[in-house]
Structure 1
Amino acid sequence: MWVQKVHSRKEAIYNVLKKNKDQGFFTTFSSWKTSTPHRLLILDSSFNPPTKAHANLLTKALASRPANYFDASLLLFSVNNVDKQLTGASALQRAQMMELMAHSFDHPVAVGFTTHGKFVDKAQAIQAWFETPVELHFILGFDTITRLFDPKYYTPIPVQEALAPFFQSCHIICADRGETDPTFWDQIYEPIERIQLDADLAFISSTLVRQQFATKDHDKLKSMLDPNILQFIQDEKLYTQTHK
């Protein structure tokens, strides 16, 4: 049912992408019951495609806090131009797959796009979209966190000074796969919560999924993808060639 629905919404989603292509932040889908959540959980990724590991990250982050702690969640994709040729799925196809992922949760979830690359700018754009301030909780992988705190992105401004506005309203949840350097955490001056994926899902990545389509191992793909997303990919004939 949901696959057919996102197929039927293709033109509507495309029009939203085109209309808002220069906006710092906008949504293409939302199941939120409130216009302005107090606490928003954000999963920022390429979603090329969304996997069971992505869903597990959101589930684990939601479970790490008391029930109803987060009012809503946001699946966020960063793109500079919706007409730019992307490797694998287009911006439109990713929006559709993200919407299918959103439908798999009872918790309110929205699909959002941003033209910003830096998290400081992403947070500002999301805040500006709401009428009142929102507490933002970003789920980030270890590699992304190291980039967030890398001084080269803020030179000549010191990292702590550059990130001060970000941490006034934002929190970080680290998706820890167990490969992190313990000494790294001693250098971090902000509290970061750490969550771990289920062991049977931790190995899954979008890259691995794309490569798996070349083998045509349907059972393997079913273990890594939600059935609706797998069906959508097959309908769209995505990843028929291996993409790195």
Structure 2
Amino acid sequence: MYISVQMLQRMKRVQCVLDQLHPSNEAEALCVPGTEPPHNTVIVFTGSFNPPTVAHIALLKQAQHYIQARHGMHLYAAFSKRTVDKEGVERPLILDRITLLQSILHKRMPRTGILLFNRGLYVEQAQAIRRTFPRVKRVLFLMGFDKIVQIFDPHYYADRDAALEALFAQAELLVAPRGNGGEKEVAELLEQPQNKRFAQYVHMQPFDSVYRDVSATQVRQRGSQYERDTLREVRRFMHYTRAYAPPIKRLDGSEVDIYKERVTYLSQRLGPVS
């Protein structure tokens, strides 16, 4: 297994930042090395990026168009060490996902930074940004339609309205409807009596319906059948690391897990990895 010295050094710097994040601490936000600290207005797209898909990048590019029409805005992708509803997803390492997205953004969207959080809730992430980066004046979270439905779903709260009031005291939402009537879906959601008073904090940015059915879950589960939904860098990562593939069976009947060996290799060179 070969990982270049330069990549190992980059991964070590990222792992050092990850090691500073502890879920038991107050909400924290840290920059991946090479990322400009947030200031003024920030648009933040938090996800597991497992793996990054063409839809993820298209959504970030759409946010870039939103920024170009305004001044003083900055765009960030973001990861949380605890992701709501996805705690069971363990591979690949968050370290691998961060450095993979970092490589993609460096080539395709070099002005987009990456933030890391120790919490998975938007309200905590907004608090973390404002506490850590006092020069930030406004926070918008970028998301698709499914995520805003989740935000307004009382299933996720003991007291939904109190939680939403806390969120919208800190941040706003920039929602990309899913095309072919998507804006109407968002409007109808916001027109519901229980949601109306929060509508002023939600802004819409059109999004091409071609990405409607792109799913990172499908890529993880079906691999090469869904390669069209990923980028060249992701396909290369999937091929060489076998992060989403089952162990290889040897002729003697034994098995070898290539990705598990990668984790062992990284641990030997970097220490404990996340």
- TM interval, shorter chain, is 0.7 to 0.9
Alignment CA distance shift 1:163-1:182 (3 Å): closer
Candidates 240, 254, 261, aligned match of 1:235: 240
Residue 206 of structure 1, CA deviation: 0.5
Structure 2 counterparts to residues 184-195 of structure 1, below 5 A: 184-187=189-192, 188=195, 189=197, 190-191=199-200, 192-195=202-205
- Identity between Structure 1 and Structure 2 (%): 23
- For 2:239 and 2:9, how far apart are their aligned partners in 1? 16
Within 5 Å, give how 1:152-231 maps onto structure 2. 152-156=155-159, 159=161, 161-178=162-179, 180=185, 183-187=188-192, 188=195, 189=197, 190-191=199-200, 192-213=202-223, 216-217=224-225, 221=227, 223-231=228-236
Residue 48 of structure 2 corresponds to: 46
Query: Aligned equivalents of 2:118 and 2:21: distance in 1?
Result: 10
Is 1:20 aligned to residue 21 of structure 2?
Answer: yes
Counterpart amino acid of residue 140 in structure 1: M
Q: Tell me the distance in 2 between the aligned counterparts of 1:197 and 1:99.
A: 23
- Mean CA deviation greater in 197-206 or 87-96: 197-206
Q: Paired residue for 2:133?
A: 130
With normalisation by structure 2, the TM-score equals 0.71
Greater length-normalized contact order (CA 8 Å, ≥ 6 residues apart):
1
Superimposed CA distance per residue, residues 7-61 of structure 1 (whole angstroms, 9 cap, x where no aligned partner): 54222222221233355222223443xx442111111111101111001001112
Instruction: Flag structure 2 segments of 5+ consecutive residues without an equivalent.
Output: 248-274
Residue 26 of structure 1 aligns to which amino acid in structure 2? Answer: L
Compare the two structures and name the one with the higher helix fraction. Answer: 2
CA distance in 2, matches of 1:72, 1:181: 25
Q: 1:196 to 1:87 in 2, by over 3 A?
A: farther
The equivalent position to 1:99 in structure 2, one of 102, 105, 114, is 102
CA distance 1:70–1:226, change in 2 (3 Å) = farther
Give the structure 2 partner of residue 148 of structure 1.
151
Which residue among 70, 87, 93 is the counterpart of 1:90? Answer: 93
Instruction: Give the aligned partner of residue 11 of structure 1.
Output: 12
TM-superposed deviation, 1:74: 1.4
Q: How many residues align?
A: 229
The structure-2 alpha-carbon separation of the partners of 1:230 and 1:69, relative to structure 1 and needing over 3 Å to count, comes to: farther
Q: Contact between 1:44 and 1:75, CA under 8 Å: does it hold in 2?
A: yes
Residue 64 to residue 152, structure 1, CA distance change in 2 (3 Å): same
Rg larger in structure: 2
Q: Name the residue aligned to 1:120.
A: 123
Assess if the C-alpha contact under 8 Å between 1:30 and 1:108 holds in 2.
no
TM normalised by structure 1 equals 0.79
SS of residue paired to 1:64: helix
Instruction: Identify which of 105, 111, 114 aligns with 1:111.
Output: 114
After superposition, the Cα gap between the structure-2 partners of 1:208 and 1:47, relative to the gap in structure 1 and judged at 3 Å, is same
